[in-house]
Structures are given as structure tokens and as C-alpha cells.
Amino acid sequence: MRVLYNIFFTIFFVLSSPYYFYRMAKRGNWGAGFWERFGSYDANLKQALTNRHILWVHAVSVGEVNLMVHFIRALEQRAPNLKFVVSTTTTTGMYMLRQRLKPHISKIYYPIDHPSIVNRALATVHPDAIVLFETEIWPNFIWQAQKRRIPLFLANARLSDRSFRGYKRFGFLFRQLFASFEGIAAQNQAAAERFRSVGARPDCIRVSGNLKYDAATAADPGGLDATVLLKQVGVNGDTPIVIGGSTHDGEEVILAEIAGRLRAQFPKLFLILVPRHFERCNEIARKLRDSGVKLVHRTAIRPETSFGPGEVQCLLVDTTGELRFFYEHATVVFIGKSLTAEGGQNPIEPGASGKAIIFGPNMQNFADIARQFLEKNGAVQVPDAAALEKVLRELLDDKYQRAELGRNALLVVSENQGAMDRTLEMVLQKLKSMDVYVVPQPA
């Protein structure tokens, strides 16, 4: 089984690597840390890891990296002598880690899942335990960790419909992998049942809840002062603001066109667009300017920048990790990847800010979360762009309806907190048994 996997993986990697490296080059800054992907690390990392208890924590996407940041900040308080090594796959994720975690936390790229590469990485880091966020399953990494008897944990774990079907179909490969986990913190009971059915040991699974609810209300020191920035682009306290959060291709143009029509009724209306992939911002800006939208890039704003009211109609946020700071100033929030693409994005952060939330018909990746918001009347779901415009108009015109949606959204967030403490305890129990010093919880 392992031989076949490695043969197919090697063939796939060789064939796909030109596209993979092209994507890296297109995103920029691909050279920094490039060889870490092949398990080659500099002497500074090796020195920093000498004679330490080490926890390796890994996350892939920007959303998972954000959860990992809050997890590490919380765990540092309970295990102050623990050395952290954090890894991610993308340059965007690495940018966030470097921006939001202190220098004493070692940051590396996750190794390519080839036996020799993974073996080299684990031999260098030599972790006491490994925590993987969501469901990041790479067979060689897990096999090599098993061989070294390194405890493995899954945090904020879930299985999408597609992943679940795939793991069931290839059970001969994945059942043993899931059975190797020391602990799995599932987001909900349905996820727990799925993990059991793909081979995870029942005694290692616990329903901990979704960490996104805790992260949405956690303090974020050193964040953006969005109030000052918005004043620089002419946005005052009475300016209605529509935010498109984590938008995907096509949604920016739709929102800009809707905003243009709504300005007949709300002349001061200001649009903030935060694309899920900031690399698309130049293309988005070209399309919007061609249609007459007066916009400014977030990165073009300097301390001396100053626009009068109405000089700018749209702020295009071409940075990463700042969306939550803009949500605090929203009048209405639209959740991206729900109208022109499938999957949806996370509505919890605007919910934690008590904002009126709208999302489209496609929230597959956040189905359970979306359902909770809808059942509590904490969000509005629309079927298409025409309905989105109608609901936006209604909400901009009715502050009482906006306030009710915001209160209900806050209630959803508050009712679902506690996952962070439960996940921490899962990991800390094992660390204590390995003689890692853990600060006792106050009585």
C-alpha cells in the first residue's frame, strides 16, 4: 500500500510540479523558504530547537492559520516552556504567521509528502507532539510520525462531503491513518460520527465545537486602526458602509454595480471589497475603473493620504489578515464565495461584531454555521444578485432590522464558544504526561 502510494505520489508530483511552481511564482516571494518544502532548514532553526520540548502545529489556508495563531497564543499561557514550530503551505499563510506571531516562534513551510523529505523534516524538528488543523492528511507525514511514536492531534476537525466520500472509498489507505491519531477535536457530533466511520478510534474523538467562534472574539494586539484609515478616504461616522468579505471572481463587479444603483437612494454609500485572494486585486481594479468606480487600494494609503467625502467610492483591500478590523465599521456585510462560486466563507467574524449579514445560496463549506445563523435570524440568505440588491436596500434603509440581525448574530457566536478551552485540554493532557510543565487552571 505504501509503495503504491509513493509511486503514484511521485508521478503526480513530477507531472504537476510545473503548475505548482508557476502558481508559487505568480503569488510572489516564492524563493524565501523554498527549500524548506524539501525538508532543508537553516542552522538557526536547528539551534533554536536544541534541548527543548517541541510542539509542531500546522495549518494550510488563511482561515486555519488565523485559528492556529489564537491557539498558540492561548497554549503559550498554559505551557510557557514549550517551543513552537508552526508550518503552513502557502506564501499567504507564511506572511500571516510572520506578521502575527512573535519571532521566538519558529515558522517553516510544510514538507512535500515524500518519504525522504518528511523523514528529513521530522529528524530536524524532532517534535514531542504534532497538532494538525482541520483535516490535513498526508500519508507519509503520518506514517513517519507513527514510526517515531510522535502523538498526533487533529484540531477543529471536520470532513466535507467530498472528503468523507474520498476517505470512505479509499478506506484501505486512510482507516489506518485516522486510527493513528491520539486525539481528534471534532467541530460537531456529525463530524465525530464521520471520523468514527473512516477509522478513527472512538475513545480518541471528542466534540469540542468550532474554534472559529472563539477566535472571532479573541483579542488581536497590534491590529489595524481602521477608523483612522477610513477617515483618510473620506468616510465619516454617518457614512453607510457595505463590505464584501472574502469575495471571489465576479462578486466584486456585482457588488460595485449594486452599490452604484443604491447611491441614488444612499448618496454617501461606501463599498469595501476584500477579495479572498489579494493577488486578484489589480485585475479587479481594472474592471471597476473601466465601469467608472472611483477606488483606492489599501496599500496605496500612506500617513499623508487624505481624500474628501465622496472622492473615493470604494476601498479595495489588497492585504491579508485585516478583514476583521473593517467588519467593525460595516453597516451591512456580504459573505463572499457564496454567489458566483461554491463553498462560501466564514460569517462568524462579522457576527461577533454584531453586524447584519447577507450571504448567497452557496455556503457548502460552512453549512452547519450558516444554518445556525439562519435558524436564529442572525443572517439573510439570498438566491441571486437581484435578491442581494433588494435585501441590501432594505437593510440600509432600516436600522432596526439591521440591529435585530446583529443582536441575533452575536447570540449565535456567544452560544457556541468554549472550543478553545476543550481543544487546549486535549493537547495539554498528553503534554503533561510527557513531563512538559503546564500552568494549572485557576480554581
Catalytic sites, residue numbers: 64
All three cell numbers of 242: 457595505
All three cell numbers of 67: 485559528
| Helices within 328-384 (DSSP H only) | 348-352, 367-375
Give residue 385's Cα distance to chain centre. Answer: 26
The answer to whether 163 touches 136, Cβ cutoff 8 Å, is no
> Residue 184, SS3?
strand
- Residue 350, CA atoms < 13 Å, CB-side half-sphere: 33
**% helix, strand, coil for the chain, step of 5:** 50, 15, 35
Using CA atoms, how far apart are residues 155 and 66, in angstroms rounded to an integer? Answer: 13
The answer to whether 271 touches 313, Cβ cutoff 8 Å, is yes
Query: 109 Cβ partners below 8 Å, 6+ apart?
Result: 33, 34, 36, 37, 87, 88, 89, 94
Residue 355 DSSP symbol: -
The answer to whether 154 touches 132, Cβ cutoff 8 Å, is yes
> Residue 156, SS3?
strand
